[in-house]
Amino acid sequence: MPERAIDSGLIDRLGFLDPYLGGKTTRIGASVNWTQDGATPITALAYAHYYKFKLISNFTYFLDDPVHGDEFEQRDSRFVLGGKVDKRFAFDLGVPVELLVGAETRNDLIAPVGLYHSEFGQITSTVRQDRVDEESVGAFAEATIHPLSNVRVILGLRGDGYAFQVRSSIAANSGHATAGIVSPKAAIAWTPIKQVEVYANYGEGFHSNDGRGTTITINPQDGSPAGKVDALVKARGYEVGVRTRPIDGLTLTATYWSLHLNSELQYDGDQGETSPNGPSQRHGYELSSFYKPADWLTVDAQYTRSFARSTDLPPGQDHIVNALESVVSAGVVAKYQRASAAIRVRHFGPYPIIEDNSVRARPLTVVNARVGYDLGRIELAADLLNAFDAHDYEIEYYYVSRLAGEPLAGVADRHVKPIEPRQLRLSATVHL
């Protein structure tokens, strides 16, 4: 909600402006796992699921259409079929070598996926509606080598291929696209003494963009020309760290990491168009501890700090919006016979919600608690969510919107989603 609507008393902190917003989603799935043990074990996985999604949103209210409003509906319906198989081998080439090879595939049959103008919760016109068939296949190999008793080296290589077939309600946005990418990786771990392990990792990967962006030529919102995006965008990451066990039951880990993305291209489903963003560089460190002072008690804590910048923008204008900068998490779990109790606190520090960092999200702290009892095949639990009834905001954006009666140009403001109030959730899990 626009924060000004809350501050002015137009709505309360948990209120809303458009009563027709909301949606529903359905997911039904099945999977089968198969394993053959032996000197060269094989594992196989096959899965299928059906997914359906409908959501009515309104982020800018009366900015684009002062008469009928900016409400819109998104729909997605798809069948997903996929599988994976891998096989392990062991060799002695003067040093022990373990080899893992495998392949996997996934097919998404999406019909339809659409964006529509709506008013009072009813569709008034179609922005775009598409049928998308997306197929992917990958093959990989990973070798684990032990050149010394206290050194482990991992070398890997993966290849992926994608194919997209788009049939759009806008004929010019229909088409076919293919893409492929190769991703190597390497890791080394050294244990100089029993209580200390030092490691370093390098890896390349990718993220895929929405298939509709690979064939788009016309912006469905206004008919202007639109540029196609790369289907697969390479990522490159590094990590170095140390893990130590100074006393029995205590593990401490410190890690420094760096990640470079060639592009943060993404499909903007709310606008029906592809939003190209430039390359980025992220880096940071993580500190974690895990302590088990007794068989019935576990304590853990983590702290992460990260920095994210767009590398094609000038300093001061290069902050990546909504990129978290600091997170603290800690928890305690106690178990006695069949009973258990846990409490966990999470804290998210401020982060930029505009590129020049002049507006930042406020911190969020939430505490959750849980008690459970295991009856064997049935497990009972009670969760107290947001135990101290914090009134923080769990999401903050900064953009222009317009409420009824405001200037046609709209008002730049924070748009917030408050954390849900304290609630008690009871559950029962049955193991067949």
Band of residue 246 on the pLDDT scale cut at 50, 70, 90: very high
Tell whether the model's pLDDT for residue 50 goes beyond 60: yes
Confidence (pLDDT) at 270: 53
The more confident residue out of 180 and 265 is: 180
Would the pLDDT of 136 be above 70? yes
In sequence order, what DSSP letters do the residues of 184-229 get, joined into one string?
EEEEEEEEEETTEEEEEEEEEEEEEPPGGGGT--B-TTT--B----
Amino acid type, 268: D
What is the structure's pLDDT at 276? 67
Mean pLDDT across 363-377? 96
273 — pLDDT class (breaks 50, 70, 90):
low
Residue 274: which pLDDT band, with cuts at 50, 70 and 90? Answer: low
Strands (E), 266-296: 266-268, 273-275, 280-294
pLDDT 10s digits, 144-199: 999 999 999 999 999 999 999 999 999 999 999 999 999 999 999 999 999 999 99
CA distances from 225 to 65, 168, 173, 302 (A): 22, 16, 11, 47
Task: Tell me the mean pLDDT in the region 352-372.
Answer: 97
Q: Compute the distance between CA of residue 354 and CA of residue 317 in angstroms, rounded to an integer.
A: 9
Residue 232's pLDDT is what? 94
Mean pLDDT for the stretch of residues 262-287: 76
Q: How far apart are the first and last CA of the chain?
A: 43
Residue 221: pLDDT band with limits 50, 70, 90: confident
- What torsion, rounded to 10 degrees, do the Cα atoms 52, 53, 54, 56 define? 180
- What's the rounded mean pLDDT across residues 107-128? 95
Residues 222-242 pLDDT 10s: 889 988 888 999 999 999 999
Tokens found for residue 54: 């409908």
On the question of pLDDT at 264 being above 80, the answer is no
- Beta pairing, strands 122-148 & 423-430: unpaired
Mean pLDDT on 265-281: 67
Q: For residue 51, which of 14, 76, 73 has the smallest C-alpha distance?
A: 76
Are the C-beta atoms of 135 and 107 separated by less than 8 Å? yes
Chain mean pLDDT for the chain:
94
Three-state secondary structure call for residue 71: coil
Report whether 202 contacts 211 (CB < 8 A). no
